[in-house]
């Protein structure tokens, strides 16, 4: 039982997109945050809400020292590599960082004292689901190395719980999107592969958008996804950690809205929000893209009492547009 009403949280990947939003969310609620990040893809400029430890999740000694020094009540683990295409080209990197890195975290917790661990999972664990919306009990059959590394991480967690009583929640994100309402952090990937930043960059006059396929069996022929605002993701991580600190059971939970939006609908809404046209060309399908991927968000509501609040398209696109126009990302 926790005696204090605030937590000290070590956040791996706290210098990244979802990690930095979660650090801000924690700090705003009076919690204490330590960011642990090797800055390979994260940005030092996004670490604003507590101390920073420069370290790699695969470095057992460094991670153990950080936990020994800061004595967090729990960990939120974001540090990972996330590009599906790159995972096909370079699977070794993905197994090394996403599996070996996660394993090292579990080993450090086993040896330094177990405490709750909330991790970044992914809807990629479902592969090409044959039911939509997708619930957590759907078959997990990832179709690329990225998705497989995220599933392996969940298997390791389940085994460490049995052997070492390590409590965990894996949050399976659908399409993370949007930016902080105050413009203090936002999406900053190099290179950027995600739809919404690429749409907004095309509006700003950068590279024309490539639409990957308009011959899917969806109403307008483009792929349908479930876009969830990053600030809603941040809230879910904190709710998951509180759930574990209250002694409730480990589990995997989808983070989505239950609402599907097509690529064409994103383009139309982006044009409306920015007041400008989105220059685009239709290209062939991107290998491995399911036609439709939409979450059944019921378990998040039931288990965590969590619900998306900022994930309407207007809020997602206007916050992402404000971040894009602020020009803080180097591209």
- Is position 311 an interface residue for ligand UDP (rule: CB under 6 A)? no
Rounded distance between C-alpha atoms, residue 238 and residue 259, angstroms: 23
Rounded distance between C-alpha atoms, residue 57 and residue 37, angstroms: 8
Max CA pair span of the chain: 57
Q: Within positions 280 to 299, which residues make up the interface with ligand UDP, using CB under 6 A?
A: 286, 289
327: left (phi over 0), alpha (psi -120 to 50) or beta: left
- Is position 212 an interface residue for ligand UDP (rule: CB under 6 A)? yes
146 annotated active-site: yes
Other beta carbons within 10 Å of 254: 27
- Is position 202 an interface residue for ligand UDP (rule: CB under 6 A)? no
Binding ligand UDP (rule: CB under 6 A), the pick from 225, 237, 259, 299 is 225
Binding ligand UDP (rule: CB under 6 A), the pick from 204, 210, 301, 309 is 210
Q: Are 285 and 213 in contact (CB under 8 A)?
A: yes
Closest separation in Å from C-beta 308 to ligand UDP: 17
Geometric angle at alpha carbon 176, from 31 and 51, rounded to 5°: 30
Cis before 176? omega within 30? no
Output 106 or 176, the one with its CB closest to ligand UDP.
Answer: 176
Catalytic residue among 146, 216, 227, 310: 146
3-state secondary structure of 222: coil
- Is position 223 an interface residue for ligand UDP (rule: CB under 6 A)? yes
- Is position 29 an interface residue for ligand UDP (rule: CB under 6 A)? no
Binding ligand UDP (rule: CB under 6 A), the pick from 134, 263, 304, 320 is 263
Q: Which residues make up the interface to ligand UDP (CB under 6 A)?
A: 175, 193-195, 198, 209-212, 223, 225, 263, 286, 289
Active site residues: 146
């Amino acid at each position: 039982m926790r005696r204090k009403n605030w937590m000290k949280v070590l956040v791996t990947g706290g210098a990244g997109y979802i990690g930095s939003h979660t650090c801000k969310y924690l700090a705003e609620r009076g919690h204490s945050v330590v960011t642990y990040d090797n800055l390979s893809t994260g940005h030092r400029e996004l670490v604003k809400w507590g101390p920073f430890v420069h370290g790699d999740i695969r470095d057992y000694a460094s991670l153990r020292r950080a936990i020994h020094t800061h004595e967090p009540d729990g960990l939120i683990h974001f540090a990972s590599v996330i590009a599906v295409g790159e995972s096909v080209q370079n699977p070794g990197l993905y197994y090394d960082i996403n599996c070996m890195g996660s394993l090292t975290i579990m080993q450090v917790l086993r040896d330094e004292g177990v405490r709750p661990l909330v991790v970044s999972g992914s809807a990629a664990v479902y592969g090409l689901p044959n039911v939509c919306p997708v619930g957590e009990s759907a078959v997990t059959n990832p179709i690329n190395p990225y998705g497989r590394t995220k599933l392996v991480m969940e298997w390791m967690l389940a085994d460490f719980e049995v052997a070492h009583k390590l409590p965990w929640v894996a949050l399976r994100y659908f399409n993370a999107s949007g930016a902080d309402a105050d413009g203090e952090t936002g999406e900053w990937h190099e290179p950027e592969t995600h739809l919404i930043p690429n749409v907004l960059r095309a509006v700003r006059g950068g590279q024309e958008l490539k639409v990957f396929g308009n011959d899917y069996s969806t109403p307008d022929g483009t792929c349908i996804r479930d876009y969830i605002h990053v600030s809603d993701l941040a809230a879910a991580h904190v709710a998951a950690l509180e759930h574990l600190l209250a002694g409730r059971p480990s589990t995997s939970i989808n983070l989505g809205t239950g609402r599907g939006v097509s690529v064409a609908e994103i383009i139309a809404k982006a044009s409306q929000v920015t007041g400008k046209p989105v220059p685009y060309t239709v290209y062939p399908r991107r290998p491995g893209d399911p036609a439709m991927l939409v979450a059944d968000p019921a378990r998040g509501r039931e288990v965590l009492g969590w619900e998306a609040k900022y994930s309407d398209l207007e809020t997602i696109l206007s916050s992402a547009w404000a971040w894009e126009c602020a020009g803080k990302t180097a591209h």
